[in-house]
Amino acid sequence: MTALISCGGGTSKQPANAEGFAAIEKEIKSKFGEDAYYTDLTITYNKSIGNIIGVTVTKDPSSLKMGQWNSTQGTWKQNQEISLEVPQGTKAEDFMFQLDDKINLSILGELAEKASGQLITEKNIENPTLYMAFVKFPKNGDISKTEYTVMLKPENGGTTFTFRHGINDNSIKMNN
């Protein structure tokens, strides 16, 4: 088996699978650091430009400042800066996640692979395409309630199918 990797805009062309999403995670960590904190992380697929990666991230949660960034065709751009307020007696990082063994994009990519296979076998949809994939971290900071969500649709458009997978749950739930 031979793998071809394009040098231009690497993350925008990564496939929606464990290996492709692991490469996207590596790029995110390269940009923001291994120890960065996130409140939002989304991968959206656009047929003409590839993957668009969106993150809300900070390197220093105690600053109560986060940046909202997008990567399109391999170029990162900050859209805005966000100021946070946290309940008294809590720390900002209580409401954020890090990319590590508990939460990572390989698992999100695995879900995309399994969901695609499920659509092919159960719904007879050929070539399901990624629409959007994201980590849904609960607003109350309870990491055990974190969900991976993948949205797929037929290659030529149509119904979007949503799949969810809990962080502590191996089952995949499909809406539709």
Q: For the chain, what is the mean pLDDT?
A: 91
* pLDDT value of position 157: 84
The model's pTM is: 0.91
In a domain, residue 137? The reply is: yes
**Contact status, residue 174 vs residue 163, Cβ threshold 8 Å:** yes
Mean pLDDT for 145-153 is 95
Is the pLDDT confidence value at 4 over 50?
no
In the numeric block, which tokens belong to residue 4?
A: 């071809």
Instruction: Name which residue leads in pLDDT, 21 or 156.
Output: 21
* pLDDT value of position 1: 31
Question: What is the percentage of the chain residues whose pLDDT exceeds 70?
Answer: 94
The beta strand positions in the chain, using DSSP E, are 37-46, 50-58, 65-72, 75-83, 129-136, 147-153, 161-166, 173-175
Mean pLDDT for 151-162 is 93
Q: Which residue has the tokens 């391999």?
A: 74
Q: Which domain holds residue 116?
A: 11-175
In a domain, residue 1? The reply is: no
Mean pLDDT for 109-116 is 96
In this predicted model, what pLDDT tens digit does every residue of 56-108 receive, in sequence order?
999 999 999 999 999 999 999 999 999 999 999 999 999 999 999 999 999 99
In a domain, residue 126? The reply is: yes
Is the pLDDT confidence value at 6 over 50?
no
Q: How many domains does the chain have?
A: 1
* pLDDT value of position 121: 96
In a domain, residue 116? The reply is: yes
Closest CA to 175 of 153, 156, 145: 153
* pLDDT value of position 16: 95
In a domain, residue 2? The reply is: no
In a domain, residue 5? The reply is: no
In a domain, residue 48? The reply is: yes
**Contact status, residue 32 vs residue 41, Cβ threshold 8 Å:** no
Mean pLDDT for 132-153 is 94
